[in-house]
C-alpha cells in the first residue's frame, strides 16, 4: 500500500483502487530550514505540534479526511486503524520532530521501501518515533549509519512481502461481502480490527524465535571470521519444464502449483533442520550447516515430488563451501556452483560438488566407493563388530566445464540400499 508520488506539494494523493495509502516516504525537495522554526513553536509555525487527542487502546481511530481530498474515507479509516494514529506531519516536519536530517530521513524511508510523497501531510507519530529510534541507535554507537540503513531495508523488504501475501491471499478470502450492497472495504474494517492485535503478537513471537535460532547458529561459529563467511551446504531445487508449463496452464492453476511447491519445500527444509533462504517461483534455495542434513532434504524433495502426480519433475544441485551471508541471503562461489549443478542435473536426481562429497565421506554418511564399503564390512565382520552404516551413496560423474567456474567433477547423490 503506497501513497502515489504525483509530484504535488500539497494535500495527500489517492492510492490505487483497493489499497490504503502507505504512511511513510522520503522527499528530496524539502523547503529550506528557517532559523526560528522550532518543534515547539506556536500555531503560526510550520512545525505546529499541538497534540491531537490520543485515544486509549480500546478506541477506534478514524481518519478525518480533508473535504477536498480525493481519497476514500473508508480507506483512510483503515489506515488509521492499522497505524494506530492519524496523519499529522509532512516528511520535512517528521524529520525535524525526530531530530534527524532530511538526507538521513530520506535514506531510511527509501530503505524501508516507501515512495517519495513530496510534502504531503501523510506521516504519523509512529513514523517520527521510528526515525528517532534508528537515529538513536546510530548516535549511541550501537549501529553505524550504513548498518541502520541495512536494518531498515531488510525489515522493509521482509515485511512488505508478508503484508502483500496477507492482503492478496489471506484477507481476500475472508472479506467476501456477506450481503448485497456491502463493499469489501466495509467488511475488511471489522475483520482487521479483530485480527490486527493477534497477528501483531504472532509476528513478534515468530521474529523472536527466528532471532534466537539465528543467534544460536552464529555464536557456535568457530571464530569471528566464520560468523560472516561460513562454511555451509547450499542447495537449489528446480522444477523441470516450468517455462513450458506457464504456456499450457491457466494462471490460477499455475499459481496453485507454485504455492504447493513452495509450501512443500518450505515444510521439508524446516522439518529436517535446514533454512529456506528464498523461493523463486519454480526454484527454492536452502542451506544447512551439515552436509548430511542438506542431502536428506534434497532426496526428500525428489521423493515427495515424484509421488505427487500434479507436480513436474525436480532436479537438485548442492555445493559445500564458504558462503557470505547478507540480509538473510547467501552469496559467493559456492552458491553459484550449486546453481550450475542444478542446471545440469538429470531429472529427479541430485548432483553435488566434490567438496560436498568429501564432507559426506568425512562424516561417515557415505562411503568413498562401494568397494571401500565392502572392505569395511568384511573387516567388521571378521572382528565380530557391526559393519559401518551409510545413509547415502555417491557416484562420480564425467568431469565437465562450467561457465565461470572452470572444470568440475559432479557426483550423483542417492540413498544407499541398506543391503548394499
What pLDDT, on a 0 to 100 scale, did the predictor assign at position 60? Answer: 33
Q: What is the phi/psi pair of residue 393, to 5°? A: -120, 145
DSSP structure class, residue 170: I
Distance CA 56, CA 418 (A): 66
Distance CA 207, CA 370 (A): 45
Which of 155, 117, 152 has the alpha carbon at shortest distance from 23? 117
Q: Write out the three cell numbers for 71.
A: 481519497
Distance CA 64, CA 80 (A): 9
CA angle 348, 310, 260 (to 5 degrees): 90
User: Is the distance from CB of 348 to CB of 316 less than 8 angstroms?
Assistant: no
Pairing mode, strands 411-415 and 349-352:
antiparallel
What pLDDT, on a 0 to 100 scale, did the predictor assign at position 185? Answer: 67
pLDDT at 213 over 70: yes
Is 353 strand, coil or helix? coil
Q: Which residues pair with 89 in a beta bridge?
A: 123
Distance CA 219, CA 224 (A): 9
Distance CA 57, CA 16 (A): 30
What pLDDT, on a 0 to 100 scale, did the predictor assign at position 174? Answer: 67
pLDDT at 217 over 50: yes
Q: Which residues pair with 236 in a beta bridge?
A: 285, 317
Distance CA 168, CA 1 (A): 12
Distance CA 165, CA 279 (A): 14
CA angle 218, 210, 271 (to 5 degrees): 95
**Helices (H) then strands (E): counts for the chain:** 14, 10
What pLDDT, on a 0 to 100 scale, did the predictor assign at position 9? Answer: 39
pLDDT at 178 over 90: no
Taking only the tens place, the pLDDT of each residue in 361-387 is: 999 999 988 888 888 888 878 878 888
Highest mean pLDDT among 212-226, 270-284, 291-305: 291-305
Q: Which residues pair with 319 in a beta bridge?
A: 234
Distance CA 47, CA 89 (A): 9
- Which residue would you say has higher pLDDT here, 247 or 34? 247
> Assign residue 240 a region: left if phi > 0, alpha if psi is -120 to 50, beta otherwise?
beta
Q: Which residue has the cell 551471508?
A: 325
Taking only the tens place, the pLDDT of each residue in 20-72 is: 443 333 444 444 443 344 444 333 333 343 334 333 333 333 333 444 456 66
Q: Model-level pTM? A: 0.60
Distance CA 201, CA 192 (A): 14
Is 352 strand, coil or helix? strand
Query: Counting beta carbons within 10 angstroms of the beta carbon of residue 225, is it exposed (0 to 12), middle (13 to 18) or buried (19 or more)?
Result: exposed
Rg (CA), the chain: 28
Long-range contacts of 190-196 (CB under 8 A, 24+ apart): 192/78, 192/81, 192/82, 193/60, 193/81, 196/81, 196/82
The length of the chain, given as a count of residues: 420
pLDDT at 244 over 60: yes
Which of 391, 198, 385 has the alpha carbon at shortest distance from 291? 391
Amino acid at each position: 500500500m503506497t501513497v502515489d508520488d504525483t509530484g504535488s506539494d500539497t494535500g495527500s494523493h489517492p492510492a490505487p483502487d483497493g489499497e490504503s495509502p502507505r504512511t511513510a516516504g522520503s522527499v528530496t525537495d524539502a523547503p529550506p530550514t528557517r532559523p526560528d522554526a522550532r518543534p515547539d513553536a506556536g500555531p503560526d509555525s510550520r512545525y505546529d505540534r499541538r497534540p491531537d487527542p490520543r485515544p486509549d487502546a480500546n478506541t477506534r481511530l478514524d481518519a478525518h479526511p480533508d473535504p477536498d481530498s480525493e481519497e476514500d474515507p473508508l480507506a483512510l479509516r483503515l489506515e488509521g486503524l492499522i497505524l494506530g494514529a492519524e496523519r499529522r506531519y509532512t516528511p520535512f516536519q517528521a524529520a525535524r520532530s525526530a531530530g534527524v536530517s532530511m538526507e538521513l530521513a530520506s535514506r531510511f524511508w527509501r530503505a524501508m521501501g516507501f515512495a517519495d510523497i513530496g510534502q504531503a501531510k501523510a506521516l504519523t507519530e509512529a513514523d517520527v518515533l521510528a526515525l528517532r529510534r534508528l537515529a538513536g541507535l546510530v548516535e549511541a554507537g550501537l549501529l553505524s549509519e550504513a548498518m541502520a540503513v541495512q536494518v531498515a531495508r531488510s525489515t522493509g523488504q521482509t515485511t512488505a512481502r508478508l503484508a502483500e501475501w496477507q492482503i492478496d491471499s489471506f484477507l481476500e478470502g475472508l472479506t467476501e461481502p456477506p450481503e448485497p450492497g456491502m463493499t469489501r472495504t466495509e467488511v475488511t474494517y471489522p475483520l482487521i480490527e479483530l485480527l490486527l492485535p493477534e497477528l501483531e503478537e504472532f509476528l513478534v513471537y515468530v521474529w523472536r524465535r527466528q532471532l534466537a535460532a539465528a543467534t544460536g547458529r552464529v555464536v557456535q561459529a568457530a571464530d569471528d571470521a566464520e560468523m560472516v563467511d561460513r562454511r555451509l551446504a547450499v542447495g537449489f531445487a528446480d522444477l523441470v519444464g516450468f517455462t513450458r508449463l506457464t504456456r499450457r496452464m491457466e494462471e490460477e492453476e499455475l499459481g496453485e502449483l507454485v504455492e504447493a511447491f513452495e509450501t512443500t519445500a518450505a515444510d521439508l527444509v524446516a522439518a529436517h533442520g535446514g533454512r529456506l533462504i528464498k523461493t523463486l517461483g519454480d526454484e527454492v534455495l536452502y542451506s544447512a550447516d551439515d552436509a548430511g542434513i542438506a542431502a536428506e532434504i534434497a532426496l526428500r524433495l525428489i521423493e515427495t515430488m515424484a509421488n505427487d502426480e500434479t507436480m513436474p519433475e525436480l532436479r537438485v544441485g548442492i555445493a559445500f563451501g564458504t558462503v557470505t551471508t547478507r540480509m538473510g541471503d547467501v552469496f559467493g562461489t559456492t552458491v553459484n556452483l550449486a546453481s550450475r549443478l542444478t542446471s545440469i542435473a538429470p531429472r529427479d536426481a541430485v548432483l553435488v560438488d566434490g567438496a560436498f562429497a568429501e564432507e559426506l565421506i568425512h562424516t561417515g554418511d557415505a562411503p568413498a566407493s562401494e568397494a571401500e564399503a565392502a572392505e569395511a564390512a568384511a573387516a567388521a565382520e571378521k572382528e565380530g563388530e557391526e559393519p559401518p552404516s551409510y545413509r547415502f551413496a555417491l557416484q562420480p560423474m564425467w568431469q565437465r566445464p562450467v561457465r565461470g567456474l572452470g572444470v568440475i567433477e559432479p557426483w550423483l547423490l542417492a540413498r544407499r540400499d541398506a543391503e548394499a
